[in-house]
């Protein structure tokens, strides 16, 4: 067992009045922080403060409040992806209707819509999901997010990260340095300093398909538009646009030998491409200068 990492926090939680069940939890930095919403005003939910202490390294998730604390710690950069046990997260988190009048359980939405109509409020249901938008709970410094719906609470965005409209960052995943995200970063996946996840690209995580290997992208690498990887990329690697490399992809090396891609996982300085004449997937030596690196001007924050 590792040495414990204990966090003691005061939080704000919403409770479903009818069932007494916790809906969500917020952990603000300010001691006098408060929140309210129309669902609370009309008596469908109630807000209250609470205290919690958790060993986030050794203990499994034991409550909704515990689950939200870990998601907050990831998005506030107090903990990094894959540093805490998260296996039972989906079992603990309830499904919530995230609305313009506050979070409620889905079966309460009709009652909420009727209640807020008295105030001429047209209820909007943003999503029905286990995870809220990150920016409604944690807004990390030095980041740009073009579409907040596409970054879940529990995403870890390092200073200087830009997430464009088609970028998506899931929980327990994200960037470890300045990076451009225009594709999908799935749970468990990390992207290193100076790397670019191209438009429409994707990186295999561990939630679906039974995979246990945690994939990552190293520093100064490029995952091309509409490309994908089921292996890790090391530093200064490139995957050409449209090429999807799984662990079982056969890759021809410069010396003519052939390796499964899983055996190349994590190696530095490789360009993966499909030969346009033969259709063979190749790995050639390369470096960041081949594509020039990300544009630093796009990742400055002028707040």
Q: For 249, phi and psi rounded to 5 degrees?
A: -65, 135
- How high is the pLDDT of residue 32? 86
Strand partners, 250: 260
pTM of the predicted model as reported, rounded to 2 decimal places: 0.94
Burial of 41 (0-12, 13-18, 19+ CB in 10 A): middle
Q: For 51, phi and psi rounded to 5 degrees?
A: -120, 145
User: Considering only CA atoms, which of 85, 13, 92, 88 is closest in space to residue 56?
Assistant: 85
Catalytic residues, by residue number, are 182
Q: Tally the C-alpha atoms within 13 A of residue 70's C-alpha that lie toward its C-beta.
A: 30
- How high is the pLDDT of residue 211? 55
Task: Count Cβ atoms below 10 Å from residue 182 Cβ, excluding itself.
Answer: 20
pLDDT mean values, one per 10 residues, the chain (303 residues): 86 98 96 94 98 96 98 98 95 98 98 97 98 97 97 98 96 97 96 97 72 85 96 96 96 96 96 95 87 75 68
Task: Count Cβ atoms below 10 Å from residue 164 Cβ, excluding itself.
Answer: 17
The residues near 77 (Cβ < 8 Å, ≥ 6 apart) are 140, 156, 158
**Based on C-alpha coordinates, what's the Rg of the chain?**
22
- How high is the pLDDT of residue 212? 66
How far is it, in rounded angstroms, from Cα 156 to Cα 136? Answer: 15
């Amino acid at each position: 067992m590792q040495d414990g990492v204990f966090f003691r926090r005061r939080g704000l939680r919403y409770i479903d009045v009818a069932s007494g069940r916790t809906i969500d939890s917020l952990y603000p930095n300010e001691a006098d922080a408060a929140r309210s919403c129309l669902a609370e005003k009309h008596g469908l939910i109630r807000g209250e403060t609470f205290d919690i202490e958790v060993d986030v390294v050794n203990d499994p998730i034991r409550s909704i409040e515990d689950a939200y604390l870990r998601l907050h710690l990831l998005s506030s950069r107090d903990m990094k992806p894959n540093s805490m046990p998260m296996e039972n997260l989906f079992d603990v988190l309830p499904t919530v209707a995230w609305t313009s009048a506050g979070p409620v359980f889905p079966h309460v939405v009709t009652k909420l819509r009727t209640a807020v109509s008295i105030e001429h409020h047209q209820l909007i249901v943003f999503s029905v999901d286990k995870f809220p938008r990150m920016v409604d709970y944690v807004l990390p410094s030095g980041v740009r997010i073009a579409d907040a719906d596409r970054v879940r609470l529990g995403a870890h965005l390092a200073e200087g990260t830009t997430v464009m409209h088609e970028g998506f960052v899931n929980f327990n995943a994200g960037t470890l340095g300045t990076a451009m995200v225009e594709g999908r970063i799935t749970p468990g996946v990390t992207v290193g300093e100076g790397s670019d996840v191209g438009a429409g690209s994707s990186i295999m995580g561990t939630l679906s398909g039974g995979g246990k290997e945690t994939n990552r992208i190293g520093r100064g690498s490029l995952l091309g538009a509409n490309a994908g990887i089921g292996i890790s990329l090391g530093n200064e690697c490139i995957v050409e646009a449209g090429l999807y490399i799984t662990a079982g992809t056969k890759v021809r090396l410069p010396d003519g030998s052939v390796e499964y891609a899983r055996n190349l996982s994590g190696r530095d300085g490789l360009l993966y491409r499909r030969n346009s004449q033969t259709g063979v997937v190749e790995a050639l030596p390369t470096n960041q200068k081949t594509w020039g690196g990300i544009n630093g001007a796009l990742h400055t924050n002028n707040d």
